[in-house]
Amino acid sequence: MSTLTSTEARVVDTGQTTWTPKHETFTKPVRKLWDVHNPMEGSALDQYNGATRALLQLVRGAQAQGVRMRALGGGWSFTEAPHTDGWMVNTKWLNLYFNNVTALVHPAYVGDRAGLRFAQCGCSVLQLNASLRAEGRSLRTVGASNGQTIAGAMSTGTHGAAVDVGAIPDYVVGLHLVVGPNRHVWLERASRPVMADAFAGRLNAELVRDDELFGAALVSFGSFGVIHGVMIETDPVFLLRMFRRRMPLDAGLRHALNTLDFSRVQLPHATERPYHFQVVVNPYSLANGVHVTTMYREPFHAGYPPPSDAFGGFGPGDDALSFVGTFT
């Protein structure tokens, strides 16, 4: 499979016969590893639809060869989640981003129309953070690092760090899935339609509104076809005021950990529910207490003090996985 014209997607056989994830936790055999690139010409929508055709073509090819096929995101999973010994499809180059979908929102949509964004599967968390920041918007929650793709992080139910907001799947409200050699669908919840029927039409996709299917596809570890694009809800950009303290692991703190009821523990803001709450416990060294990180969400304002080195060089976002990410 290769380039037809610059209005068609480019599908490149990398020639690889083994695959190693980004953080080199193992190496496994693979029949083929394909890179998929968007077409070079046409509108963003034309390019996106060209990539859909390429993904369908790949499914047809895999079916003809009798091999399994699985999408690869950023390859940041430490586990074998993205691996198959058949065909792996690298989606990282598929990173179109649409911030202009308001005109095609369903009349019954109850959320903030201005906050909807449509991201092609390979958009990284880094890219989304940068694009949204420039628009005065933000993802609702993220994890400690940002090399993951939106589809990969969503498919594994990762990247949530807030008390009352779940991980990435919680703010994904629509999915464009390539589910067979000739079939691709725009999938939303029936109970919460988001995009007008015309949106599926723009993608040339079959429209499916079904709560159970949507829930099943949302965190599906690459087993529900190739997720080509996702619709996400975003928030206005915000600030987090962070505190990190040692505290005794007493009854009040245990109660907060078990119930997320903070009324029996003394946190920095006495009456305000934290946006983020994290406790690191070393069971072999409890005498000095445990590390409690709380963050409070505030409206964005210019001139805020940036995170400092007050924690001996460590600040928001630092943890063991960030450390691994920095050195690999």
Smallest distance from ligand FAD to CB 295, Å: 14
Nearer to ligand FAD, 23 or 241 (CB): 23
Handedness of CA 288, 291, 292, 293 (dihedral sign): positive
HSE at residue 40, side-chain half, CA atoms within 13 A, is 6
Smallest distance from ligand FAD to CB 301, Å: 26
Closest CA to 176 of 221, 119, 110: 119
Smallest distance from ligand FAD to CB 149, Å: 4
Nearer to ligand FAD, 115 or 169 (CB): 169
Smallest distance from ligand FAD to CB 158, Å: 3
Instruction: Give the burial class of 228: count Cβ atoms within 10 A of its Cβ; 0-12 exposed, 13-18 middle, 19 or more buried.
Output: buried
Nearer to ligand FAD, 237 or 321 (CB): 321
Give the C-alpha separation, 141 to 138, whole Å. 8
Give the C-alpha separation, 255 to 70, whole Å. 42
Q: What's the one-letter identity of residue 40?
A: M
Nearer to ligand FAD, 141 or 294 (CB): 141
Contact 233, 171 (CB under 8 A): yes
Contact 232, 101 (CB under 8 A): no
Give the C-alpha separation, 223 to 226, whole Å. 8
Nearer to ligand FAD, 138 or 155 (CB): 155
Using DSSP, state whether 231 is helix, strand or coil.
strand
Smallest distance from ligand FAD to CB 242, Å: 15
Smallest distance from ligand FAD to CB 303, Å: 28
Give the C-alpha separation, 232 to 245, whole Å. 34
Nearer to ligand FAD, 137 or 159 (CB): 159
Binding site for ligand FAD (CB under 6 A): 23, 70-77, 81-82, 91, 121, 143-145, 148-149, 151-153, 155-156, 158-159, 221-222, 226-227, 321, 324-325
